[in-house]
Structure 1
Amino acid sequence: MSPRRAAVLRDGGERSLREHLIATAERLISERGTAGLTVRAIAREAGVADGVLYNHFADKEELLAHALKAHVRTVERGLVALPEPGAGTVAENLRTHIRYGLAMHKGILPAMAGLIGRPEVLARFADAGEPGEDWRDRLLGYLAAERELGRIAPGARVEPAASMIVGVCHEAVLALLFGGSPPEPDVDGLVATLLDGLSP
């Protein structure tokens, strides 16, 4: 370990330099957003030379993708826990999933807004996760599990149901992104519509 690296990680416990760089980039994204975020700014904040980043990441886009994933996880840790299949009622659980999705999207919007013109970062971000990790996957898993439990219809098409919920969350975020006033989502109406098609 170089003296420079040792100084950077002195208080970092077991955290690797790669993890330190991701955490630094995540903090900058949380504080400043992604617009105009440079390798130099990340390196200076991390206390390393600019070139060190390229020892751990193929390029700036890879680092930003991992930092965005970390930022999403940080936002999600501040939200209510998602319900377990079989607990409570399906209607209330769907309301919780919808409110969770709306809050999560609103929380990550500032970070994503600066990347509208950076599709390569967004593509890396989409590829950086593990299957079942993101909220949409968990929502889909929840619906499939409720179908297995018989609490929704055996033939219920859970993919379109999940797409409807995600679409409502995206609509609210896109309205904010383009400077409009997002419509107040009718959560109860959406749940009622979904249950009309999902109920056994």
Structure 2
Amino acid sequence: MSPRRAAVLRDGGDRSLRDHLIATAERMISEQGTAGLTVRGIAREAGVADGVLYNHFTDKEELLAHALRAHVRTVEQGLSALPRPGAGTVAGNLRDYIAYGLEMHRVILPAMAGLLGRPEVLARFATANEPGEDYRDRLLGYLRAERELGRLAPGARVESATAMIVGVCHETVLTLLFGGAPPEPNVDDLVATLLDGLSP
């Protein structure tokens, strides 16, 4: 480990320089969003030379995608835990999933807004997920498990239900991005509409 690297990681425990750079960029995203975020700014905040980033990432877009993924995970850690299959009622659990999704999307909006002109970052962010890790995958997994438990109809189209819920979350965020007043979805109505087609 170089003296410079040792200095910036002195209090970081076992964290690697790559992890340090991701954590630094993630903190900057959470504080100021992604608009105007530069390699030089990230390097200075991390306490390293500009070129060090390219020893650990192909380019700035790769670093930003990983930092954005870390930011989403941090946001999710601050939200209530999602219900488990078989616990409570399906209707109550769906309300919790929808509330979680709406809040998560609202909180990460500032970070995403600065990347509208950077589709390459968003594409890498989308492919950086491990299967089953993101909100959509967890929601779909929950609905599939409830179907297997018999709490949803055997032929319940849980993929379409997942798309509907995620679409409501996206609609709220997209409306805000374009400067409109976000629609306030009636969660009870949405759950009732879903369960009319999903209940055994």
TM range (shorter): over 0.9
1:174 maps to 174
Give, in angstroms, the shift of residue 125 of structure 1. Answer: 0.2
1:27 maps to 27
Measured in 2, the distance between the counterparts of 1:183 and 1:123 equals 27
Give, in angstroms, the shift of residue 155 of structure 1. Answer: 0.3
Measured in 1, the distance between the counterparts of 2:50 and 2:197 equals 55
Report the TM-score when normalising by structure 2. 0.99
The question of 1:88 aligning with 2:88 is answered: yes
SS in 2 for 1:19: helix
Measured in 1, the distance between the counterparts of 2:183 and 2:12 equals 44
Measured in 2, the distance between the counterparts of 1:158 and 1:86 equals 16
Give, in angstroms, the shift of residue 122 of structure 1. Answer: 0.2
The question of 1:47 aligning with 2:61 is answered: no
Measured in 2, the distance between the counterparts of 1:76 and 1:165 equals 17
What is the root-mean-square deviation of aligned Cα atoms in Å?
0.4
1:143 maps to 143
1:15 maps to 15
Which aligned runs of 4 or more in structure 1 are off by greater than 3 angstroms?
none
Measured in 1, the distance between the counterparts of 2:30 and 2:182 equals 23
Give, in angstroms, the shift of residue 183 of structure 1. Answer: 1.1
Letter paired with 1:102: L
Measured in 2, the distance between the counterparts of 1:127 and 1:140 equals 18
1:117 maps to 117
The question of 1:69 aligning with 2:55 is answered: no
Measured in 2, the distance between the counterparts of 1:184 and 1:38 equals 35
Measured in 1, the distance between the counterparts of 2:184 and 2:61 equals 34
Deviation readout 1:134-184 (Å, 9 max, x if unpaired): 000000000000000000000001000000000111111111111111111
Structure 2: gaps spanning 5 or more residues: none
Measured in 1, the distance between the counterparts of 2:15 and 2:28 equals 18
SS in 2 for 1:181: coil
Letter paired with 1:70: A
| Fraction of identical pairs, as percent | 85
Structure 1: gaps spanning 5 or more residues: none
Measured in 1, the distance between the counterparts of 2:107 and 2:5 equals 33
Measured in 2, the distance between the counterparts of 1:129 and 1:191 equals 27
1:60 maps to 60
Alignment coverage as a number of residue pairs: 200
